[in-house]
Amino acid sequence: MKRYWILSLLAIVLVTLPLMTACGEDEVETTTTAAAVTTTAGGATETTGDATETTAPAETTTTVGEPVTLYVGGTFALTGAYAEDCAAVLAGFQDYVQYVNDNKVIAPWHTDWTIPANITFELLWADDALDPAKTLTIYEDQKSKGMMVSRVSGSPEGMALKDLLVEDNIGATSQSTSPAYLQPVGNIFTNAPIYTDEMASVAEWFLESWTETRAPRVAYLTADSPLGRNIDIPQMQEYLVSLGYEFVGAQFVPMVPTAPPTTQLAWLKDNKVDLTLGVMVNPGSQPTVKEAVRLGMGVGQEYEITFALGNPAHLQIFLPDMGATGNGVVVAGDFCAQDADVPGIKFADMLQDTYRPNKKNTNIMYLDGVIEGMTQILALRLAAMEVDPAKLTAEDVLKKGYWQIKDLDTGGISVSKYTYGEGNVQGVDSCRIQQVENAQIVEKGAYPLRNILPSEQ
Amino acid sequence: MIRLPSGTYAQDYGQDAALVRTKANWAFLAIVIVFVFTIPQWASNSFLALSTVIGITIISAHGLNILTGNCGLVSLGHSGFMMVGGYALAILCAKGGLPFWLALPISGLMAGVVGIIFGLPSLRIKGFYLIMATVAAYFIIHWLVLQFRSLTGGTEGLRVPSPDLFGLSLKDRAHYFYFVMVLVVIATIVAKNILRTRAGRAFVAIRDNDLAAEVMGVNLFSYKLQAFFIGNVFAGIAGGLSVQYYLYANVEQFPFFDSVWLLGMLIVGGMGSVSGAIYGAIAIKLLQQLATKIGPPLADLVNPQAAVGLGLILPSLAIILFLIFAPRGISHIWERLRNYYQAWPF
């Protein structure tokens, strides 16, 4: 009997140890009782909210300018289809946070938006592996550490978090731009147009150069995944028809094709399609366009057809591999070209030169990391101007931070400045169109967002 | 058969049939139950979320264990059947307005019925070919869910109302955890008892040698379908619980790879053993969580890319190591340890 007891205890210990290892820290209050103070450090002239009227209680021993650490970051899908992209986002985040801590400003062009010297930002991150269950545990873990912002790496993870974020009053930035974030509106703040609006912009752009008397024929050529099928909604089709298109149908290509999508492309040819719309990642778009060119399809090819894709089919990744083979391919809703002569690109280059001189990350999503980091830190900064940083709550950061972001300039990386607010989680107000011409990315203009959303369930 | 310490005998049928026999068994069980059911009192929200997910996974693993571990019908479509259960619950609750307590068992039954349909070829095919058929089942289900947009919400998925159970709000994470754990206990008891029924014995006979079983009078067709039905009822309930947990149903919540992990859990835990399904689910989920935890420090230490794919590598490595060094899984290791200790010092 004694042996059973010892064995039982041993089993409990064995089970408990790894569980405790996997267990996050105990819940900590995100609102601390440190004193509110007036902070004029680092050249900043803002006064933290309530500070002037607060006479700190005796038990709150915090002095003026007591160091405060605020957390930024969230979950990153470092395993799965978006691993490369997310690794770049993480790199951008890391460098940007380091830059802000070193320089105490949001960006070189926003030198008036300073960070009080006593505030330090720390990046918390973990790999969610595109798994909602993991996302949830990581989110709770980070929340328990006192993180008041978060981020979303993919639509299913975003949807798993959406209600929780609302419940916890936590605002999250996102690299995915699912229309579902907008209906009903939650706390997930996007930095690119939703996929349907990207397609709408392409359709409008294409019509401008359409000279034939017949209606242009459009079809979807999109990834066979929720990402690609996001655009396959009746509202999108109705909008295309309202513009004067003849909608032909849809063809789906695997996210990462294991064979050239010849059948789908032949179908487009047979149906005399002039323009295709789709959302793909580069491992899908590159073999598709290569096969199309082999079949004599494309802009300036034997069979004239324009292949248009939405962000995240980045031309900045597509072009180096494809060169002139990619001529005519259009991408909507993306960041500027990586060699664009804009302050944002110079800033990103400077970050890489400074913080990772020998391991430069060439993925375009590095810029996303910089922008998401900028958004989160700006939200925290704005909230910290209203409330003592040590007393900040997630609700403060959401309402006095995210919702107050107006005209956040990304130095030309994004098509427009970001403005958020209550009920407005879509930062940009237009959609950029880029096209490959002579193996170069050429800006084709910006088009207004049409808010094409699926019907509410 | 339950191994008993020397000197402990069954004196009546009730004792012989009991799942828990000795005082030590009861004590161990009590400690586990106290440990599990006090988790919301002392654990962080992160750990609570992990425990809830582990609970849901255990229920699903029990189903696959009946199908694969006991009946020998290897399925790589289990995640698809979880999807059926998940969407059934979402549709019944969100569109049909059914209460959660009613929708959950129905979602399990629906997954079971769909399991029977896809189990029909199992009479004619087995082994590798059956595995391929179950893979096809997953992709057919996935495709159907995306096609019936008006019902399933297509790629956008379906939002599910917050559940109530006889007035008790299950939106509270602790309440939901308790609810899941109660179902885990019920599922474990059911899984354990199924093996002691006529059907359970038939499953094992089919697994060990289906031709011999048929010669002995076991109706292969009927019992294989029963295995598919029962296994997938578990999957459906797990899928329903998962959807209700996130208050959202989407096809990407049920990736194909989850089916592979579930098989991996049975390998690590011990194929064919009820406790093995539990150990395996806990072990794989903890390893995945461990990968999440050590990723950031490892990236700081080595390089940022070091954390990429860690969540796949660690559990995969565990599966390979178990296949080589302990193919009968943790439950067998535990059993050997217990037997050794019982016979000690001999």
**Percent of chain B at pLDDT above 70?**
97
The pLDDT of residue A423 is 87
The pLDDT of residue A11 is 53
**pLDDT surpasses 50 at B211:** yes
Tens-place pLDDT, residues B228-279: 999 999 999 999 999 999 888 988 889 999 999 999 999 999 999 999 999 9
Give A426→chain B minimum CA distance, Å.
Answer: 18
Cβ(A394)–Cβ(A30) below 8 Å: yes
Partner A contacted by B308 (CB < 8 A)? yes
Give B52→chain A minimum CA distance, Å.
Answer: 9
The pLDDT of residue B7 is 67
Cβ(B108)–Cβ(B311) below 8 Å: no
Of B44, B159, B342, the CB nearest to A25: B44
CATH code of A195-332+432-448, in short, is: 3.40.50.2300
Work out the mean pLDDT of chain B and round it to a whole number. 90
Kind and range of the H or E element at B256?
helix B256-269
Q: At what angle do helices B45-64 and B256-269 cross, to 10 degrees?
A: 80
Q: How far apart are CA A349 and CA A337, in angstroms?
A: 13
Q: In which domain, by residue range, is B71 found?
A: 43-255
Contact B156 A127 (CB under 8 A): no
Give A365→chain B minimum CA distance, Å.
Answer: 15
Scanning B163-222 for CB atoms below 8 A from A yields: none
Cβ(B169)–Cβ(B41) below 8 Å: no
Contacts of A163 in chain B (CB under 8 A): 247-248
Mean pLDDT for the stretch of residues B305-320: 86
Contacts of A26 in chain B (CB under 8 A): 44
* Residue B5 within any structural domain of the chain: no
Q: Where are the domains of chain A?
A: 67-193+340-426, 195-332+432-448
* Helices H / strands E in chain B, number of each: 16, 4
Q: Which two tokens stand for residue A187?
A: 């706390």
* Residue B227 within any structural domain of the chain: yes
User: How many beta-carbon contacts under 8 Å exist across A and B?
Assistant: 174
Contact B159 A229 (CB under 8 A): no
The pLDDT of residue B56 is 97
Q: How far apart are CA B257 and CA B76, in angstroms?
A: 9
Q: How far apart are CA B199 and CA B213, in angstroms?
A: 12
Give A368→chain B minimum CA distance, Å.
Answer: 17
Contact B156 A454 (CB under 8 A): yes
Burial (Cβ within 10 Å: 0-12, 13-18, ≥19) of residue A24: buried
The pLDDT of residue A261 is 94
Contact B311 A127 (CB under 8 A): yes
More confident residue, B346 or A104: A104
* Residue B1 within any structural domain of the chain: no
* Residue B317 within any structural domain of the chain: no
**pLDDT surpasses 60 at B90:** yes
**Percent of chain B at pLDDT above 90?**
63
The pLDDT of residue A6 is 54
Q: At what angle do helices B128-147 and B78-90 cross, to 10 degrees?
A: 30
Tens-place pLDDT, residues B13-35: 877 777 777 788 889 889 999 99
Residue A208 has a CB neighbour count (10 Å cut-off) of 9
The pLDDT of residue B342 is 74
> Which residue of A lies nearest to B288 if distances are taken between CA atoms?
A134
The structural domain count of chain B equals 1
Question: Confidence class of residue B204 from pLDDT cuts 50, 70 and 90?
Answer: very high
Give A224→chain B minimum CA distance, Å.
Answer: 10
CATH code of A67-193+340-426, in short, is: 3.40.50.2300
Q: At what angle do helices A282-294 and A315-322 cross, to 10 degrees?
A: 40
This model of the complex carries an ipTM of: 0.79
Closest Cα to residue A155, out of A223, A237, A97? A223
The pLDDT of residue B163 is 81
**pLDDT surpasses 50 at B152:** yes
* Residue B61 within any structural domain of the chain: yes
The pLDDT of residue A313 is 87
Q: Do A67-193+340-426 and A195-332+432-448 share a fold?
A: yes
* Residue B54 within any structural domain of the chain: yes
Residue that is written with structure tokens 């569980």 in the block: A19
Contacts of B289 in chain A (CB under 8 A): 22, 134, 137
Mean pLDDT for the stretch of residues B92-113: 94
Of A24, A126, A155, the CB nearest to B44: A24
Q: How far apart are CA B51 and CA A20, in angstroms?
A: 12
Contact A8 B53 (CB under 8 A): no
Give the rounded distance of the alpha carbon of A136 from its chain centre. Answer: 18
* Residue B69 within any structural domain of the chain: yes
Burial (Cβ within 10 Å: 0-12, 13-18, ≥19) of residue B324: exposed
Q: How far apart are CA A300 and CA A303, in angstroms?
A: 8
* Residue B36 within any structural domain of the chain: no
Mean pLDDT by 10 residues, chain A (457 residues): 53 51 43 36 38 36 70 90 86 95 94 92 91 89 93 86 91 87 87 93 96 96 87 93 96 89 96 96 92 95 96 89 93 90 95 91 92 96 93 94 94 92 90 94 93 77
